[in-house]
């Protein structure tokens, strides 16, 4: 196919289609994807690219996975859709909830399904508020989250999201949402005399709870590794302390596992790295490897028992909750993840990727930090390594590096000063090495 094929489709696209994060200017030079083969995507010109971010962190099994396709097709042929509202259910949703009860944190055994991650954030916020009302503490409604956290962009999720670029054109935000600093090992500055950087960063939560009044705070939500905010794994002592603080002040701890769930970080779920159990979780993306839009929440036995004993309906619902086709693909995906040891694969391949990036780029004067956990890694660029001074966001350094990478056959995403990679877990070693090489070459092409 010629370059004209993609350009012609983009012209038609621009005439009628609006996109997530829509920007007419950005999209004018967009890509039109028409095919996928394992860890590669194929554009309308027939060119192959490494799928550097697994779609949007979701497609861990890669494209063309027969057993996921067959599970979805079989379910569609048997019964395309039936309501999942109270009073109706379907076998695939029952099976998927059973599988999740087995592989998630031991105290999380009750699940509600959504169509994606943002809906899961809203569902957890509403679950937390409902729970505290049932417990006779209706004033516990506030949500604390972190700067650089991403939890989706429905109105409530956007208020929890701690990346301010998502807010200005949609103000006013809802009241009752508070943000604390990210533990960000490369940048968080602990106060003098702090026990450790991780403990100091966790203690920011205690300060915020006390400032708001513990009797007003419903929940704290955090990604085990901040993803869209720039792949930021925390210090090992951070989450254990967060758990202590949440327990001390009766604040529900919510683990947003939309990216970290199902093996991405080298464990099945992210907080398992630090032996911490949350009160609630949320997941999406890799639960179906992106083959169907499915997400959801999981809640502790304590919350579920309170809910069941109350007799008060949870007036929260989505038409596509427990969609049989999504759940059928989710069940097949759970089998695949366990059989092929996705967490183990992500740990080994992630190590290769991180070590490769460090070997290739650690000495570059504009590379400030190279970090990752499992198969999610990032390179943070700085103007000055000694002072960690960032580039002006208007310079769009990482976007320029991303453009160079695309020209060399690697398609991924960036924050203004951070280039991120999180390929499908089925990727092979040779392609990982190619990603490293392209990232290094692209860095040199932009920064010398």
287 part of the interface to ligand PLP, by CB under 6 A:
no
Query: Where in 11-40 is the site for ligand PLP (CB under 6 A)?
Result: none
**Residue corresponding to tokens 């009628």:** 16
- CA–CA distance, 383 with 134 (Å, rounded to integer): 52
Work out which of 151, 179, 241, 267 binds ligand PLP, going by CB under 6 A: 151
Work out which of 118, 162, 266, 326 binds ligand PLP, going by CB under 6 A: 118
- CA–CA distance, 399 with 416 (Å, rounded to integer): 6
Q: What residues are paired with 341 via a beta bridge?
A: none
> How would you label 4-13 residue by residue, b for 16+ Cβ within 10 Å and e otherwise?
eebeebbeee
Cβ nearer to ligand PLP, comparing 6 with 223: 223
Cβ nearer to ligand PLP, comparing 152 with 343: 152
Name the residue number minimizing CB distance to ligand PLP. Answer: 117
User: How many other CB atoms sit within 10 Å of the CB of residue 386?
Assistant: 8
Closest to 341 measured CA to CA, from 239, 425, 276: 425
117 part of the interface to ligand PLP, by CB under 6 A:
yes
CB of 145 to ligand PLP, least distance (A): 11
CB of 210 to ligand PLP, least distance (A): 27
Burial of 211 (0-12, 13-18, 19+ CB in 10 A): exposed
- CA–CA distance, 178 with 205 (Å, rounded to integer): 10
**Under 8 Å between Cβ of 107 and 253:** no
Cβ nearer to ligand PLP, comparing 222 with 360: 222
Paired tokens of 316: 């929260």
Residue 115, helix vs strand vs coil: coil
Query: Where in 55-74 is the site for ligand PLP (CB under 6 A)?
Result: 56
- CA–CA distance, 301 with 349 (Å, rounded to integer): 35
125 part of the interface to ligand PLP, by CB under 6 A:
no
Work out which of 49, 150, 239, 411 binds ligand PLP, going by CB under 6 A: 150
- CA–CA distance, 379 with 368 (Å, rounded to integer): 8
Paired tokens of 54: 């697994």
CB of 150 to ligand PLP, least distance (A): 5
122 part of the interface to ligand PLP, by CB under 6 A:
no
Cβ nearer to ligand PLP, comparing 117 with 424: 117
**Under 8 Å between Cβ of 234 and 270:** no
Closest to 54 measured CA to CA, from 355, 207, 260, 224: 260
Work out which of 256, 279, 369, 417 binds ligand PLP, going by CB under 6 A: 256
Cβ nearer to ligand PLP, comparing 289 with 366: 289
Degrees (nearest 5) of the Cα angle 345, 43, 434?
40
Degrees (nearest 5) of the Cα angle 435, 439, 440?
120
258 part of the interface to ligand PLP, by CB under 6 A:
yes
228 part of the interface to ligand PLP, by CB under 6 A:
yes
CB of 105 to ligand PLP, least distance (A): 17
259 part of the interface to ligand PLP, by CB under 6 A:
yes
Cβ nearer to ligand PLP, comparing 288 with 442: 288
Query: Where in 152-211 is the site for ligand PLP (CB under 6 A)?
Result: 152
Binding pattern for the stretch 267-286 against ligand PLP, x by CB under 6 A and - elsewhere: -----------------x--
CB of 78 to ligand PLP, least distance (A): 26
* 3-state SS track over 1-39: CCHHHHHHHHHHHHHHCCCCCCCHHHHHCCCCEEEEEEC
Cβ nearer to ligand PLP, comparing 36 with 162: 162
CB of 443 to ligand PLP, least distance (A): 25
417 part of the interface to ligand PLP, by CB under 6 A:
no
Binding site for ligand PLP (CB under 6 A): 56, 116-118, 121, 150-152, 223, 227-228, 256, 258-259, 284, 295
């Amino acid at each position: 196919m010629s370059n004209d094929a993609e350009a012609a489709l983009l012209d038609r696209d621009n005439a009628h289609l609006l996109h997530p994060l829509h920007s007419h200017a950005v999209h004018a030079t967009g890509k039109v994807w028409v095919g996928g083969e394992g860890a590669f995507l194929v554009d309308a010109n027939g060119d192959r690219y490494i799928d550097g971010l697994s779609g949007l962190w979701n497609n861990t099994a890669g494209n063309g996975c027969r057993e996921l396709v067959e599970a979805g097709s079989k379910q569609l042929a048997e019964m395309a859709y039936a309501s999942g509202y109270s009073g109706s259910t379907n076998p695939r949703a029952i099976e998927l909830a059973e599988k999740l009860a087995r592989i998630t944190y031991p105290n999380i055994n009750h699940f509600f399904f959504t169509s994606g991650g943002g809906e899961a954030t809203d569902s957890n916020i509403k679950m937390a508020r409902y729970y505290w009302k049932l417990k006779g503490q209706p004033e516990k409604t506030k949500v604390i989250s972190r700067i650089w956290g991403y939890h989706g962009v429905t109105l409530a999720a956007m208020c929890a999201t701690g990346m301010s670029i998502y807010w200005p054109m949609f103000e006013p935000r809802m009241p009752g949402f508070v943000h604390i600093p990210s533990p960000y090992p490369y940048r968080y500055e602990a106060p003098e005399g702090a026990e450790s950087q991780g403990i100091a960063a966790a203690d920011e939560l205690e300060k915020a709870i006390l400032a708001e009044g513990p009797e007003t705070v419903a929940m704290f939500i955090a990604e085990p590794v901040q993803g869209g905010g720039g792949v930021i794994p925390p210090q090992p002592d951070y989450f254990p302390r967060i758990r202590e603080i949440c327990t001390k002040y009766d604040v529900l701890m919510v683990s947003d596992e939309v990216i970290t769930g199902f093996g991405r970080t080298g464990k099945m779920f992210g907080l398992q790295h630090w032996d911490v159990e949350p009160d609630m979780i949320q997941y999406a993306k890799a639960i179906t490897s992106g083959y169907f839009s499915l997400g959801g929440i999981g809640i502790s036995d304590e919350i579920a028992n309170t809910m069941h004993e109350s007799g008060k309906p949870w007036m929260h619902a989505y038409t596509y909750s427990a969609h049989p086709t999504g759940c059928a693909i989710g069940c097949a995906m759970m089998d695949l993840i366990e059989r092929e040891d996705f967490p183990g694969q992500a740990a080994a391949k992630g190590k290769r990727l991180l070590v490769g990036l460090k070997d290739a780029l650690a000495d570059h004067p504009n590379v400030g930090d190279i970090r990752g956990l499992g198969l999610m890694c990032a390179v943070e660029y700085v103007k000055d390594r000694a002072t960690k001074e960032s580039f002006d966001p208007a310079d769009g350094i990482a976007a320029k590096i991303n453009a160079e990478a695309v020209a060399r056959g690697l398609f991924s995403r960036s924050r203004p000063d951070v280039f991120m990679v999180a390929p499908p877990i089925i990727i092979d070693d040779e392609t990982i090495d190619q990603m490293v090489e392209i990232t290094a070459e692209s860095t040199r092409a932009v920064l010398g």
